[in-house]
Structure 1
Amino acid sequence: MELRFLGGAREVGRSAICVDDRLLLDFGADSGNPPKYPIGDPEPDAVVVSHGHLDHVGSIPTLLSGADRPPVHWTPPTRDLALLVLRDTLKLRGGTYDCPFTRTEIARLTQVSTVHGYREPFSILGGADGEGYDVTFYDAGHIPGSAHVLVDDGETRLLYAGDFNTDDQRLLAGTSARPDADAVITESTYAETTRAARETVEADFVESVQQTIWEGGTVVVPAFAIGRTQEVLASCAAHGIDCYVDGMGTRVTELLRRPANEPFLRDSAELARASANARVVDGRDGQRRRIAEGSNVIVTTSGMLHGGPAMTYVPAIRSNPINKIAFTGYQVAGSPGRELLDTGRVDLDGTVRPVSARVEAYDFSAHADREGLRTFLEPYRDARVLCVHGDRCEAFAERLGADGFDAAAPALGDVIRIADGVES
């Protein structure tokens, strides 16, 4: 089995791995400015997708711009989430040079889509000679519908772990799947981080929010639309905190409550309670301004302040030190959110302004941390381990190697043969 790394190698974003030049595992995009897409010009016979985040699905429509129509395999939530974020991407970029696909390619994507559940093996690319792959999805515990992808060609078993979490969240259980494999491709996003228990993070968040509300302030909670918004809403509902929800996260919540997607949740009733507890903002007639002027909790996109309704609320509350901005996810270097955390200032319509409101950060991450990664990998000491999707993949691979693992961190464009090691 031959693996070609087209994206996500020694970087976070644009994940894409080609197997035997036939099967593509994810095909994402890095949504930076300017955006980045996978290298090369693959023409796969089929595509298998681990989950619905943009950095794993953001380039898939480009595969359908020509005459080819490779089938795309994913879980029902991943299909729905991918279509949502791709349509949103097209809307935001408006067919400019930043967006390499059109509405036509997204429509074609719906025509080639095939959905599968967890632990339901399916075969792809088997011809008259019988050569092909058996593929199985396993719950990765990252976001609803996220999957580890096991690919078996009859001789080699490859586990593409995708993004995963080993700790329980309110809406998802941590992954417990450890299928036998000869090689494992693992993320290393938080290989350098040890985080507090989720219960502790949530308790600290809730106490802080309640304190601000008691003082008469407003709390703006920037949250990623997929997964994080729903987790925060569930936390608020569980602790009796009334809140508003604004932005793309409202559409994601509705999508996840579809009957076909509810089985991919740990507790669909908890999401229903979270949804009922949150008042949806439609943004009409100055509604956002009035909400910001009250003593309210507002869960809104975007999670890193790149745009969205958050950039209406933040200017409205920034001058009052009783108010609070509570981040719930990682702020990438160079993002407006990171700038605010580091400097206490934020760019508002081209002008950098000071923020007097308190700024806090809570690690609600849906990725495995250092301990979670090691717990997941422990059964694979006899397998080849390939570290991707991280800022320090090489350091993580070196530490694994020092502990007896056969580990490496492929670079962008590298080709790895499972039995032979790295080739350029």
Structure 2
Amino acid sequence: LIPKINSIFLSHAHLDHSGYLPFLVKNGFNGKIFCTKPTRDTIQLLLSDAARIGKEEGTAIYNSADVLKTISLVEIVEYEKEQNISKNISFKFFNAGHIIGAAMILLNINRKKILYTGDFNTRETNVLLSAKNFTEKDKFDCLIMESTYGNRISLPSLKNSSKELADLINETVSKGGRVLIPVFAVGRAQEIMFFLENYLRSGYLNKLNVFLDGMLIRANRICRHNVIYLKPEIINRILIADDDPFKSEFMQKSKTIHKRDVLSKENAVILATSGMLTAGPSLTYLKLLAPDPLNAIVLVGFQVKGSLGRELIGGIKTIMIREEEIPVNAKIAHIPFSAHSDFHDLINFAKAFRSKKIFLVHGEEEAILELGKSLKKNTKANIIQPELCKEYLI
């Protein structure tokens, strides 16, 4: 089956969307992979790291050579520029507002229009514009929509989340504690960096020692090299004002393996990958900081079921890190800086197009079920919760 696939349309770089690509290539895929330039640059970073970790842990399903071949198959796509791949099939990418380079993908197949949202955010963030604002004139025969927050009625505004996080940081460091913020290298890392810089400049945050660690440092370079995909004010800061927020005077890098340079500093706030505490330096910091009740661990992104981040939010008091039992006495907080649309955003987005069929994907079972029930009440569409390995007629 894999060698028969002609094309792959990649919405964005996060590994839950891109992580299987080298496996497909290893097993015979030799077609084109369509994505934006920031996505191409980012998957090269993320997939190479995944191959390295797999090799070290003995769980690899592909190697670095497979990653290089995958990158060689990429064809760069620009937003809102229609491309034909055959006589009866064309496609167009639109800004999805999720992370840099993320795209919603419109397929036109035999005059049937299918919109795949990928992960999308209808709200503007610190560094990204909101997703493409379609109108009622944009009619789609079929909508394939994410449902990550299908059971989350509303998410806090960026302003409210920022103030809540700033207050927690001030409270923690005033008592002599340190703050760990696990972040995704692409997306949440840049949002939190921008927030910290703004609040430090304004004086709302007390003087801090902000440390960056992990893959986010290389991800920042990708953002800088693809600055035209960011908000106009960020573009102006980097290209015109020589005021690069990704090289902020308020940020510094950890320089030691055992993190002694970080832990020796008072008023320390640490941004480290990975965002769900599944790997990377964030685990090292968690091991060192979790036992102390003066410290705080702040989760700012979505935490999938089974992840250590999700368990911490659930109130677990003892965790295992690298075969060592660690007590959790630090304060655990979940302050969403979401890159996804919430329940109301999803409903309003779906209602606008009067699609005949809506497929709900990319969500935990309860989220998909809750969103599906509401869409059945609010639209006339056939709501489908697709099953794995089952074929559907559009």
Shift of 1:282: 4.4
Matched position secondary structure for 2:388: coil
Structure 2 equivalent of residue 311 of structure 1: 283
Say if 1:276 and 1:416 are closer, same or farther in 2 by CA, change over 3 A.
same
Does the aligned pair in 2 maintain the 1:233–1:275 contact within 8 Å?
no
Does the aligned pair in 1 maintain the 2:3–2:28 contact within 8 Å?
no
2:50 corresponds to 1:89: yes
Structure 1 equivalent of residue 59 of structure 2: 98
The code of the aligned residue for 2:182 comes to P
Say if 1:277 and 1:211 are closer, same or farther in 2 by CA, change over 3 A.
farther
Per-residue CA deviation, residues 214-263 of structure 1 (Å, 9 max, x unaligned), is 232211111111101111111000101541110111111111111xx111
Structure 2 equivalent of residue 7 of structure 1: none
TM-score scaled by structure 1?
A: 0.82
Structure 1 equivalent of residue 316 of structure 2: 343
Structure 2 equivalent of residue 325 of structure 1: 297
Shift of 1:293: 3.3
Shift of 1:153: 1.8
Does the aligned pair in 1 maintain the 2:139–2:354 contact within 8 Å?
no
The code of the aligned residue for 1:207 comes to D
Shift of 1:176: 3.2
Q: d(CA) in 2 for partners of 1:301 and 1:291?
A: 15
Structure 2 equivalent of residue 70 of structure 1: 31
2:130 corresponds to 1:174: yes
2:230 corresponds to 1:265: yes
Say if 1:104 and 1:250 are closer, same or farther in 2 by CA, change over 3 A.
same
Q: Where do residues 147-296 of structure 1 align in structure 2 (5 Å cutoff)?
A: 147-178=103-134, 179-193=138-152, 194-240=154-200, 242=208, 243-258=210-225, 261-266=226-231, 267-268=234-235, 269=237, 272-284=244-256, 286=258, 288-295=259-266, 296=268
Q: d(CA) in 2 for partners of 1:282 and 1:246?
A: 6
Higher helix share: 2
Shift of 1:396: 2.0
Q: d(CA) in 2 for partners of 1:93 and 1:280?
A: 29
Structure 1 counterpart of 2:270, from 283, 298, 301: 298
Q: d(CA) in 2 for partners of 1:184 and 1:397?
A: 13
Q: d(CA) in 2 for partners of 1:152 and 1:408?
A: 20
Root-mean-square deviation (Å): 2.1
Q: d(CA) in 2 for partners of 1:120 and 1:177?
A: 16
- Larger mean CA deviation between 277-286 and 113-122 belongs to 277-286
Matched position secondary structure for 1:69: coil
Matched position secondary structure for 2:319: strand
Q: How many residues align?
A: 371
Unaligned 5+ segments in structure 2 are none
Shift of 1:345: 2.5
Per-residue CA deviation, residues 317-359 of structure 1 (Å, 9 max, x unaligned), is 2333222111112222322222333223222332332222211
TM-score scaled by structure 2?
A: 0.88
Per-residue CA deviation, residues 260-318 of structure 1 (Å, 9 max, x unaligned), is x11111124389224324534244364x1231232211111121222211222223223
Q: d(CA) in 1 for partners of 2:117 and 2:50?
A: 26
Structure 1 equivalent of residue 353 of structure 2: 380
Unaligned 5+ segments in structure 1 are 1-39, 419-424
Could you tell me the percent identity over the aligned residues?
27
Does the aligned pair in 2 maintain the 1:149–1:159 contact within 8 Å?
yes
Q: d(CA) in 1 for partners of 2:120 and 2:141?
A: 19
Shift of 1:148: 0.4
The code of the aligned residue for 1:397 comes to G
Shift of 1:199: 1.1
Matched position secondary structure for 1:176: coil
Say if 1:55 and 1:42 are closer, same or farther in 2 by CA, change over 3 A.
farther
Q: d(CA) in 1 for partners of 2:279 and 2:260?
A: 16
Q: d(CA) in 1 for partners of 2:58 and 2:111?
A: 43
Does the aligned pair in 2 maintain the 1:218–1:294 contact within 8 Å?
no
Say if 1:61 and 1:318 are closer, same or farther in 2 by CA, change over 3 A.
closer
